[in-house]
Structure 1
């Protein structure tokens, strides 16, 4: 097999020994077309300016959001890693994005690129082809790269060393195994790592040529660059991974596998949806008009003083029966639908009310100055002595359970249909005040020792995030004893989580650590970010998950049935929502009144 031709004088000139076949080779390798573009650029351009003009000549762009670009740190040592799907396009695009933020950028790159003098100042050249002389020859550039990082510069590395290609046994095109010397750079430099992912790949001709000989892939890279003309390539920039986190990996292979996962994971990132959301196929009825503020304020004024649970500033929390607040209840139903539609959920009806609203109580957040509802919960009371059948509770429409389940819970509160209207979501205080309202209710009614209800994982979450989250909850937060008493009406059908180009076993191992899974989900979901806030709140109280259901009546969201045994919630957490005195009263109630139920045995 002949060696890939070395380029002399012009970067795209073949050496003299190729003269007999030069015309054919230049056409096959697209060197003539590359030379035309190169010759059309001013000869005195260097670095960032050269790359910018070259990308313009190629009409090549990156689909990279402003929020992603803002993830690039403006100063300090930084190791940037990326997958290598094309060969040249991704290096140019990545350098272009980085150089708009930093001037101290260097790229660990194939020594053949040193033939382009305009790029030479940006490169630390290595031999990626292996062979007897490669390792000794690469020692000096690797030392240079490490020095650059320690001095506070940015270093770009494509850890695969060669371009993504068809991997026999991996069922697709991806990077070959990443070099473990990446771990040495991470450990020795002590700098954070920024993962970057590019979507796409080279065509069938490139893949087939590579099966014949790996050097043929290198020879075809100029043609592959030209194939990307007039295209916009997907580019995702991840969150910075701190050096302290990476220092915790026990061996180099595990560290490199994790960095590869964090890079390829970006390819699963949910993108902001334009226009309608995932439930666009469902007809959306026009919303009912907002209620008149004077009518709402009159109903609040008519409530008894004891129905005010708590307040802060202009916000107050009240608890009322449906019959006391007919206008407020209509407004709550309208605002539920407004809020849930905004995150890809909702009933699609003109307002979100059902038959359960008539006999549940409603805990709502009221802005006295603006005379408007800011948020709400609804509460169903489980009192075993009252003997209410399971059908009286909303959760029974999602999950099958009998009287035995309710008896095991003992006195409990079913919580659901919680929302904070969009205008109030910029701050955490409104949601916290709703929770403090529930805490005030519990202090007044301390015989209720458990909370339960459905928590939605919305359609805004990608399929992978749902798979990661449900798997992690089953491993870390499952209550098998109670779960045997419950069955979903529409079981979810999710596959074990998998990321293209990565080992499935690593995901399974990370799934045993809920914090690690939340980190991965936060990387995939720039919108909602991490675990849903209500689910995180209930897990923080010691919540356990019993089952998952697909809610066909609510935009196909996944509902997790969560139970919180407040007897097991630590005192410090209780004080946040019940106050110190209230938490002490609540904690001591079972001892003073004959014990309490343990919901999550």
Structure 2
């Protein structure tokens, strides 16, 4: 329940000591609507959270609007810090919570202590210690860190107070930098959001006379919003790497983000002062995906109940929408990705897709993109190969292409990391190869994230080029990755010997930098004997966060006997 008397004693303990203070107290209590608010709460004891907000908005005849483009910018999952201006001080926070909860339920807002007294709303807010500002901030910060590390959404009004009237109009005060410290600590992206709204002239006048008095009148402002609709506009997502690597001071960066929030209300197109990315698209309908899978080719079922399918592209498909969404989500988690709302391109239309499906949860676990090179070339020409996008394919590769399967876009979504998901995808690959015995070679690009240090990337590239480089130059990178002379000298000295010894030296150097070799590099090499896996060239993909694409070729005749027995021979509809 709202207790104005207790709030005044906490915020202004000396208010009763003077005649002026006692008059101010009477004035504040007159406009606090304490009885009306508490009566409303008692009338709806069964409501809390969003249900209570809806009833409150109905009571005040208050609403908000947000267009579809802005709504799509709200991430449907994963950690995010939403920062906004704070023009009203009460209903705007409730509106943001309600809007975000219409997309995802795991969101809370940093509230002022007046709102936190409304018990039905406490599930929407971070806890506040009204008696101690210092303890409150520490408690809030820890709670927000825990929420973000659990991949939840947090709404913050960085000004820490309601907007006031100034010479530049109704604007927030300078933003505090706590949200940036929180973003850095939790590696969370930031979503700017602008709220188009204002309080009454009476409020701004009282605030100019005595600022704390204005704050205590915020409750009264809720009661003059009858028939009002506020506007919500979102910007594009600011990746956590931009915040972490920014050279600006925190106050300067906070001001830049504040400015970008106010630019959102303008119809003019403003270029953000920092790199942004599209928000990953919202999930597709799970039941629609299951229905679409019924018409696709089922390969086998794993012991854990996961299913492997070969899926052909269908336009306007829930399954393809979700495939692109989960790909982008997964690649961004390792510092890669397209930066668009999903990872789908023109090649997906003509390639086939190996998908690992969890029917219990109705979601895509992982996948591969497969292209039979000969069929693609016969139908669409050699430029239809994805390898041709990053590499100039030489004449010498043509004899191989008649019997080659191109692999790409291998992923296992983060929720399934640490499981046998990749192993199961390889079972599915083996099943497909068993059905297509004409395939003798695999070709494809393994990605090495730009999140690795430059020296680590050079070490990895120089190692595989030295140990597994192909003598025959089948292709040349369009944007080749260049290894420095310094690292090449290390490679010439340490990586030219026996494979295991050289591999230990590579790992030791990576570990010294706090880096770890990407799993697929090791697994593809150890799939074969006698250089059955060879590296052709290394390209920098500017359209994939500058990740390095290592083009490899695998000779299936050189797959190790134990791997061949495991993945390529004797398949049934049930994996052992």
* TM-score between both structures, scaled by the size of structure 2: 0.49
